[in-house]
Structure 1
Amino acid sequence: MVIQLETYQWIMLLVSIISTVVATIKILWARIEKNLDSSFHAMQVKLEDVATQAGQCQSDIRDLERKLYQFQIDLPHAYVARDDYIRGQTVIEAKLDALATKLENVQIKQGMRND
């Protein structure tokens, strides 16, 4: 079985095949562009969200820095340094020891008088 076609039929067949391929490529290209546009739009929305959150984070960081500086300013007024505490405690203990010695001396002197 042999199919014989005229020249114009070959041309029409070739044009049909080419137009089918071109239409298929156009449809696929349109889908690709649509997917890319939706992806870029979603990315843009996420970037805007991140930029908004970054602005909020920067204000939160500034607030924390202010609180830290205020804490550093209030720290010497509210707390005693370890060395200062030890020094003060040593002075108090020395005074208590001196007082104990004086009391012992008074007790010894009273003990001698009573004998």
Structure 2
Amino acid sequence: MTNLISLAGLFLGALWALLKVIALQAEKRSNEKFAALQDSITKVGIDMRREAEAARQLETSFLRFQAELPRDYVRRDDFVQAIGSISTRIDNFALRVERALDNRFGGTSQ
């Protein structure tokens, strides 16, 4: 009977040791998976920061473009207006010179 009890104790001890080894291996695997997951999360965080910085730079560039566009458009509009004004003044001056020459030399006007 004592042999049976000691055999049962030995069996239970071996079973307990086997379960302990299996539990330690499972814990080791889950720790490795969590470490890999943590690395992945860290990499994703770094990538998200880079993307956020790129988006901020793009937004800054776009806002700068929005600020410069009306100024450049107004400059072009002002340039066209100034050239038109100068052209009109030259045409008016040419007409006055032509009329003055016609009046002075008695030419015929068409």
Same fold (TM over 0.5): yes
SS of residue paired to 2:57: helix
Read off the aligned partner of 2:81 and give its amino acid letter: R
1:71 aligns with 2:48: no
Hey, which bits of structure 1, 4+ residues long, moved more than 6 A?
A: none
Read off the aligned partner of 1:50 and give its amino acid letter: F
Aligned positions of 1:29-108 closer than 5 A? 29-79=44-94
- CA drift at 1:23: 0.1
Counterpart position of 1:11:
26
Q: Can you give the 5+ residue segments of structure 2 that lack an aligned partner in the other structure?
A: 1-17, 106-110
Read off the aligned partner of 1:24 and give its amino acid letter: D
- CA drift at 1:79: 4.3
TM-score by length of 1: 0.62
Distance in 2 of aligned mates of 1:15 and 1:79 = 94
What percent of counterpart residues are identical?
1
Greater relative contact order (Cα < 8 A, sep 6+): 2
1:24 aligns with 2:39: yes
Read off the aligned partner of 1:10 and give its amino acid letter: Q
SS of residue paired to 1:6: helix
Q: CA RMSD in A?
A: 2.2
Distance in 1 of aligned mates of 2:64 and 2:94 = 43
- CA drift at 1:68: 1.2
Distance in 1 of aligned mates of 2:27 and 2:36 = 14
